[in-house]
């Protein structure tokens, strides 16, 4: 893929960028390593002041960077502004909490004595240069949720962003420089995916984090494994949205629309499979269809647009192939299912609900990355749990119920990194985020996220 800004609303190529050559990559690796030698010695107060300043600058830039994101990948500009605001919040949260999250852990006195020591502690130290391979769908948030804790821990960062959001990637580098971070603390690498392996294998790179597709995660993890380097992976998802008989069906259906089409349906944690108990299925289906049909599809720069274009022509083609396969194999289209007739340019697709899904259909197994929902009728709690887990993914999940027995069962048996009861999946800097199965491993955010790229060092002291 060329490194370029291609407006998905029109299909027009607006800017292209040259990939860095070997000497330029070497220069950035050297700068990152040198910066780490200095940055790791700074205090939490100094690091926090820098991150607070970056947050202030981003807050002032909110509208401008939102429009850049919308231009590059098509998300509604209202959502883009919310993404920028979320990044500001997370920067400030880590600036305020990093020191306590990385405070020394003191074992119980009896364990210290039993080890033969007079005192002991677990001390957290930064690992070094961290390579981040990031996707286009949340081009600011995915980076900040990694960079804020990594920088506060004393690491330095190299960003290989998706090739279709180069202006957002370059903005991030400039943001941290404007905030006062020394050269080398945070750098953007404008490189293609083929250059990632050499960067990851470089001895100066200590670890990597990737958010993206399963194939991309597999490729990065295999190289890192060969080099024995730490990785954190956040990959795809096919999150269930389960509605049980005791649920508030009206609220569940309204939330289901937002949960499915957030970010134009291009979110790993968007609800994708809607599993509804037979007792409330008819009501939910009716409300869900009405809600999806009421959405405004159009120019993402317009304030009233609910759903903009998909990020690329290939992305729309992939989605169409999943829908066409399901319909050909017997699925029914309750709404949508085609390109909007009033859009002759850009990569738009109608909000769509498919019912009558069977295991023979690709969409039953594969992630639909766009505004397409699959609707299932379930007859029991057991069937709901079984179907929710019938996927290779395990990122997040949503369960609607007012029954404590239902809650206990889903907490015990649902295979996911998060379970959100009576609401849609959301991320917050104070709560860990990540998945299981082929949705990846490791955690971002909260204390779990900042400690992922730290060396938990055991300190044991005995009398001289």
Which phi and psi angles does 372 have, rounded to 5°?
A: -125, 125
- pLDDT of res. 384: 98
Does the active-site annotation cover 454?
Answer: no
Give the closest residue to 323 by CA, choosing from 334, 311, 313. Answer: 334
pLDDT of residue 234: 98
Q: What is the pLDDT of residue 448?
A: 98
**CA dihedral for 383, 355, 272, 293, sign (positive or negative):** negative
**234 given a catalytic annotation:** yes
For residue 298, what pLDDT is reported?
A: 97
Report the b/e string of 150-171 with b at 16+ CB within 10 A: bbbbbbbbbbbbbbbbbbbbbb
Q: What is the pLDDT of residue 101?
A: 98
What ranges in 102-138 are assigned the alpha helix state H?
A: 109-114
pTM of the model: 0.97
Virtual CA dihedral for 357, 211, 164, 260, nearest 10 degrees? 30
Active-site residue, selected from the candidate residues 234, 285, 350, 444 = 234
Spot the catalytic one: 268, 285, 444, 452: 268
Residue 242's nearest CA partner among 396, 355, 459 is 396
Task: Give the pLDDT score at 1.
Answer: 72
Instruction: Provide block-wise average pLDDT over 10 residues at a time, the chain (464 residues).
Output: 95 98 98 98 98 98 98 98 98 98 97 97 98 98 98 99 98 98 98 97 98 97 98 97 98 98 97 98 98 98 98 98 98 98 95 98 98 98 98 98 98 98 97 98 98 98 92
C-alpha dihedral (4, 9, 14, 18), degrees to nearest 10: 0
């Amino acid at each position: 893929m060329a490194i370029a800004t291609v407006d998905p609303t029109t299909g027009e190529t607006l800017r292209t960028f040259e990939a860095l050559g070997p000497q330029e990559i070497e220069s950035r690796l050297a700068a990152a390593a040198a910066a780490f030698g200095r940055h790791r010695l700074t205090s939490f107060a100094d690091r926090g002041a820098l991150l607070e300043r970056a947050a202030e600058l981003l807050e002032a830039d909110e509208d401008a960077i939102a429009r850049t994101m919308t231009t590059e990948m098509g998300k509604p500009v209202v959502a883009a502004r919310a993404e920028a605001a979320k990044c500001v919040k997370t920067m400030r949260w880590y600036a305020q909490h990093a020191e306590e999250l990385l405070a020394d852990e003191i074992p119980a006195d009896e364990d210290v004595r039993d080890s033969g020591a007079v005192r002991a502690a677990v001390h957290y130290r930064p690992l070094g240069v961290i390579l981040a391979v990031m996707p286009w769908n949340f081009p600011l948030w995915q980076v900040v949720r990694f960079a804020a804790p990594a920088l506060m821990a004393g690491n330095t960062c190299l960003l290989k962003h998706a090739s279709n959001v180069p202006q957002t990637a370059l903005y991030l580098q400039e943001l941290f420089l404007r905030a006062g971070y020394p050269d080398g603390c945070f750098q953007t690498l404008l490189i293609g995916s083929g250059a990632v392996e050499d960067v990851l294998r470089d001895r100066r790179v200590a670890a990597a984090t990737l958010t993206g597709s399963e194939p991309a995660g597999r490729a990065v993890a295999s190289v890192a494994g060969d080099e024995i380097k730490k990785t954190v992976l956040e990959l795809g998802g096919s999150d269930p949205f389960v509605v049980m008989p005791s649920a508030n069906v009206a609220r569940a259906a309204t939330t289901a629309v937002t949960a499915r089409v957030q970010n134009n349906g291009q979110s790993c944690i968007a609800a994708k499979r809607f599993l509804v108990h037979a007792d409330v299925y008819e009501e939910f289906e009716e409300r869900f269809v009405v809600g999806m049909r009421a959405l405004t599809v159009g120019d993402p720069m317009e304030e009233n647009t609910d759903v903009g274009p998909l990020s690329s022509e290939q992305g729309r083609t992939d989605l169409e192939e999943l829908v066409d396969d399901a319909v050909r194999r017997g699925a029914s289209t309750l709404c949508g299912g085609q390109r909007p007739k009033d859009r002759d340019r850009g990569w738009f697709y109608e909000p769509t609900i498919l019912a009558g899904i069977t295991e023979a259909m690709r969409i039953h197994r594969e992630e639909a990355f766009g505004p397409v929902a699959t609707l299932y009728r379930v007859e029991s709690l057991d069937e709901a749990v079984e179907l929710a887990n019938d996927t290779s993914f395990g990122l997040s999940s949503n369960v609607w119920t007012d029954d404590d027995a239902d809650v206990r069962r889903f907490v015990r048996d649902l295979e996911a990194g998060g379970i959100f009861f009576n609401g849609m999946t959301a991320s917050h800097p104070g709560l860990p985020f990540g998945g299981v199965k082929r949705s990846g491993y490791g955690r971002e955010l909260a204390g779990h996220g900042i400690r992922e790229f730290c060396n938990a060092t055991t300190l044991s002291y005995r009398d001289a």
